Amino acid sequence: GAVVSQHPSRVICKSGTSVKIECRSLDFQATTMFWYRQFPKQSLMLMATSNEGSKATYEQGVEKDKFLINHASLTLSTLTVTSAHPEDSSFYICSARGGTGWYKETQYFGPGTRLLVL
């Protein structure tokens, strides 16, 4: 199957700082990438959708100025959590879509990034 990587796998930062998370599709070109967040014992919640070269589309209730998404190439998307606070501590997971044929609409997920804001 298609491989999606994320970096870093875990990060600890101080309150008020910004953190950038990278998401890469390693063996295919991702026309669309997605960012999810997951709190303990809860399901994944979609935050935003981004298409290469376009502005991201954010889900209702997600602050676009706090969660900056850049999808500058067909293999890389970044999520920057600006002025992070303890309530932003969560598991952030990206996914990428861009396969061919039967897998054209299939989303492949990265391993996730665990963010802890102190």
Partner 1 sequence: DAKTTQPPSMDCAEGRAANLPCNHSTISGNEYVYWYRQIHSQGPQYIIHGLKNNETNEMASLIITEDRKSSTLILPHATLRDTAVYYCIVTIDDKIIFGKGTRLHILP
**Binding residues for partner 1, per CB under 8 A?**
1, 4, 6, 34, 36, 43-46, 49, 91, 93, 95, 105-112, 114
Query: Minimal CA–CA distance to 26: which of 108, 114, 101, 92?
Result: 108
Taking the complex as a whole, the smallest distance from the CB of residue 83 to partner 1 amounts, in Å, to 26
Report the distance separating Cα 105 and Cα 98, nearest Å: 7
Closer to partner 1 by CB, 15 or 54: give it.
54
Closer to partner 1 by CB, 78 or 107: give it.
107
Q: Say whether 28 sits in a helix, a strand or coil.
A: coil
Is the Cα dihedral 20, 4, 77, 62 positive or negative? negative
Report the distance separating Cα 82 and Cα 63, nearest Å: 10
Taking the complex as a whole, the smallest distance from the CB of residue 39 to partner 1 amounts, in Å, to 13
Taking the complex as a whole, the smallest distance from the CB of residue 60 to partner 1 amounts, in Å, to 12
Closer to partner 1 by CB, 16 or 111: give it.
111
